[in-house]
Amino acid sequence: MDPLVFALILVAALVIIFVRKRWVIMLSYSVAFLATAALFAHHVTDALNVSF
């Protein structure tokens, strides 16, 4: 999954450079952002073993 998320970030960067429509840029950034957040959520597997 990690290479796929990097690919989405790469696409977002290329869209920012080549595409002039703002909604396309915002959409590609949002997709990359949500994919990164989902990957992070997948790696958060258990509660932290800390107690304050």
Partner 1 sequence: MPEPVALEQRNMLLGKLGFWAQVAFLVAYIGVLSGAMFFFQFALNELPCPLCITQRMGMMLSSLGAVYVLVQSLRGTLSTSGFMTGLGFSIVGALLGAFMSARQILLHIAPGDPGYGEAVFGLHLYTWALVSFVVVLVFAGVILVFGTEFTPIAPTSPAARTIVWIIIWIFVATVAVNLVVVFVEEGFNLYLPDNPVRYELLYQLGILK
Helices (H) and strands (E) in the chain, counts: 2, 0
Nearest partner of 5 among 48, 45, 41, 34, judged by Cα: 34
Interface residue list for partner 1 (CB under 8 A) = 1-3, 5-7, 9-10, 12-14, 16-17, 20, 22, 25-26, 29, 32-33, 36-37, 39-40, 42-44, 48-50
What's the start-to-end Cα distance of the chain, in Å?
34
Question: Nearest distance from residue 28's CB to partner 1, in Å?
Answer: 9
Question: Nearest distance from residue 33's CB to partner 1, in Å?
Answer: 6
